[in-house]
Structures are given as C-alpha cells and as structure tokens.
Structure 1
Amino acid sequence: MTARPKNSSVGLDESEILRRGVDTFAELGYEATTMRELARRLGVSHNFIHDRYGSKMAFWRAAVDFAFAGVQADRDALVVETADDAERLRRVIQQLFRLAAHETQISRLVADESARDSERLDYLHRGFIQPFWDSIEPTIAALIAAGRVPNVPTHVLYFAIVGPAIAVSQSAIVDRLDPAAAPVADLDRDTLADALSAIVIRGLLGDE
C-alpha cells in the first residue's frame, strides 16, 4: 500500500484548517475533541491530523500558535508608543478586551485550559500568558508605586484584568441575563468590549 503523502491536499488552506481546529478545541475542550470529530469538521480522513501534524497535541499547539499570531507584537508596539503609565494601561486593557470580543474562541480556550493543571496550560503560560504579563508588569509596578493601582498580589490583578475579558465570550448567559437586549452575536463587539473595559479601568485607576 502506498503511504499517504504527509501534506496531501484536503481542499482547505492551512489557515482554515487551524481556524477550525481552534473552534473545535474551544467548543468541546481538548479531552472531548477526538481525532474523528476533528476529521469530520475538516472533511478529511481519520488519519489526516496524525499524518500532517503528528498528534492531536501537536495540532492543538499549531492551532493555538495560529490563534495568537501577532497578538503580542501588536501589544508590544502599543506599550512602546505610549509614554504615560496610566494611559498605557488603559490602552492595553482596551486592546485586550477588543481582542477577546472579536476572537471569542481564544477566550473560551484560555478559560477552559486555565482551570486545570496540564502541559497545555504550561504551553499557554510560557508562550502567551507570561509574555503578556511581562509586557505590562513594569507599567503596573509604576502605578502601584505612585498609589494609582491597588497593591495586591499579582494573581489578583491578573484576574481583575483578564477575567472580565474572558467573560466576553460567554454570550449564552448574557442573552439570559439581559433578554430585552439584542442577542450578543448581533451587538457591536467593540462597543461591548469598550463598555466592559471602561468598568475595569475605573476600578483599577479610580476617578481622575
């Protein structure tokens, strides 16, 4: 029998394969995402993921790398171009919330993986979560020293900033809490993100 070529054509470009991977892992969680289900959603044979990526875990890493591509570079650019500490923190939080509002699957995936100890959380922490925190930690430290931000443990500040951003992806409960409003899917995502980030920013920096 002739071996199937590792990079055989599947009718989808690489970005669409990885996008569907992100969507599936975010929706079902890693453990519940089977190779068979991935194959069904990609419209490929059961062996495709193994042939092209080597394993489900390798495919998960590739999908996560795709989802976060360019995010840290954009944040680093924002940090460099903003001189005032308070304004820098505001803009970073606004950027984070807008990303979470538009890329809800990333938020769902991070929220799910953050709830358990695993090599996947190690990968997210090492590659994306810690670099994010490292990029804003000097700003936060300066604001704490100036008495502008509460002097609380790092994880408390992390939850205060990242937790509400992740919550933007929880549209099902939002529709139930506010049934008179339009479904979340129909709302302007930037408006939603800016409203929530403004609350978080005011909580951190207080009235000016």
Structure 2
Amino acid sequence: MTDTTHEVAKIRTRGKYTPVELDESEILRRGLDTFAELGYAATTVRELARRLGVSHNFINDRYRSKENFWRAVVDFALLDVQAGLDERLAECHDDEERLRNVIIQLYRLSANASAMNRLMADESTRDSSRLDHLHRRFVKPFWDSIEPTISNLVAAGRIPRVPTHLLYFAVTGPALALAQDPIADRLNPAVAPVAEQDRNSMADALSTLVLHGLLPPSRSDTTA
C-alpha cells in the first residue's frame, strides 16, 4: 500500500465512513444529556462526537450543523408529550379537574425527564432561535391547550387575574425546578439524594403544594 493510499484509508476510518454503532434514539438521548449538562454554547461538536464514539465529522455529515442536531434532540425528547397531556385533558369533566390533572401530569413528566427539564430551564433565559423552536414545539401548544381552562377559572374568581406570563410561570416554574437536584440535596442533607427518591411521589407532593395555592378550597368545600 502506498503512503497516499494508506493516508486515505486512515481518513476514511476516522471520518464520515466510520460505522456508527448506536441507533438513532441512543444518539439523540446522549445528545440531550450533553446539551443539558454543558449548555448549548459549551457543547462543542468535538465533545458530542467523543460522547457518541464517532468521528468529529459525524454531526455535520448527518445533521448539517450543531443547531440542527439540537433541534433533532429536542423534537425527540418532546415526542408525544403534548398528545399525552391532551389525552389527560379530554378525560376531565370541569376546569378545576383539567388544571389539576395537567399539572400533576406535567410535573411527573418533568421529574422523570430531568435532562430535558434542565435544557428547557437553561434555554428559557436566552433570547435565541432555539427558544423560538421550544416555543413553537412545546410552549405554545401546551399553553394553548390549557389557556381556555385557566381563563374560565380566572373569570370565575378561582385564580387571580394577573398577566399571562405570570400564570404561565405559576404553572410551569415549579416543574422546571424539579431538575435542580444539586441544590435540593444541599437543602435536605439528612435524606437520600433526590435522584434516588421516587420521582413521581416528589412530583405529586409539589403539585399538591402548587395547586393548594392556585386553587385553594372553595367556600362550599370549606363549609362541607
């Protein structure tokens, strides 16, 4: 083999011709974990390649850019999330039940998907095309699905009349906090690490607390 032929062979071995042993879902899952841990700016294509065990050309060859890969990761992580929430809403009979059910479901989803939760919390602080994608892909569909319910509860006097963004934060803000395991562990040093606890139980305890503030018992309930 000539030196030139040998060099071409080496390039093909470490370049885009390198076989990828991971399936698509595992590629996207590892990408999600990396973006959630490091943040978008600090996540380099080289670091992604290292964690995926592929050549540094892989991301650009398959997804054309780091941002396109990020979008694929987000779409993968949010697949069917809104459909599941819509299904829960359709099972309810009144506005209070709808709000209770969607908050319980949202918090459980958030508690069990901490990587996506961290990514969402981080990106929500930055004005970017990525936030536009999150808004279009999840935030707007989610808010559109429960806004009529919340408006009805505001009109009935069950929820205070405040600006829309504050209502959104009141509903979703605690869910984003479920990704903050390190500070939670420091606040509760005497108990097991949060990551080892029952995530659904933790989410349900938080939803009970939030709902008690958003929907305190009505006069009729108190009287009864």
Whether TM-score is above 0.5 comes out as: yes
Count of paired positions = 208
Contact kept, 8 Å, 2:111 with 2:203, in 1: the verdict is yes
User: 2:27 touches 2:52 (CA, 8 Å); kept in 1?
Assistant: yes
Who is 1:50 aligned against? 60
Query: For residue 137 of structure 1, what is the aligned residue in structure 2?
Result: 147
- From 187, 193, 197, give the equivalent of 2:203: 193
Instruction: Could you list the structure 1 runs, at least 4 aligned residues long, displaced by more than 4 angstroms after superposition.
Output: 1-8
The partner residue of 2:91 within 58, 81, 86 is 81
- Alignment-derived partner of residue 148 in structure 1: 158
Q: Does the C-alpha gap of structure 1 residues 57 and 7 become closer, same or farther in structure 2, counting only changes over 3 Å?
A: farther
1:76-115 matches, cutoff 5 A: 76-115=86-125
CA distance in 1, matches of 2:39, 2:62: 21
Q: CA RMSD in A?
A: 1.6
The CA deviation at 1:8 is 6.4
- Report whether the alignment pairs 1:36 with 2:33: no
1:64-101 C-alpha deviation (Å, 9 max, x unpaired) = 00000010011111112212110110000000100110
TM-score of the two chains, using structure 2 as the length reference? 0.89
**140, 150, 167: which one pairs with 1:157?**
167
Query: If the length of structure 1 is used for normalisation, what is the TM-score?
Result: 0.96
Cα displacement string for residues 122-168 of structure 1 (whole angstroms, at most 9, x for unaligned residues): 11011110110000000001111111111111111111111111000
Report the Cα distance in structure 1 between the residues aligned to 2:165 and 2:200, rounded to whole angstroms: 26
Bigger RCO (CA 8 Å, 6+ sep)? 1
Q: Which of structures 1 and 2 has the bigger CA Rg?
A: 2
In 2, the alpha carbon distance for the partners of 1:124 and 1:89 equals 22
Q: Measure how far apart 1:7 and its partner are.
A: 8.7
- Of 109, 122, 137, 1:127 maps to 137
Q: Give the superposition deviation at 1:9.
A: 3.5
Supply the distance in 1 between the matched residues of 2:114 and 2:170 (Cα, whole angstroms): 18
Shift of 1:117: 0.4
Q: Percent identity?
A: 65
Q: Could you tell me which residue of structure 1 aligns to residue 212 of structure 2? A: 202
From the superposition, tell whether residues 40 and 6 of structure 1 become closer, same or farther in structure 2 (CA, over 3 Å).
closer
Is 1:118–2:128 an aligned residue pair?
Answer: yes
Q: Of 12, 15, 18, which aligns to 2:22?
A: 12
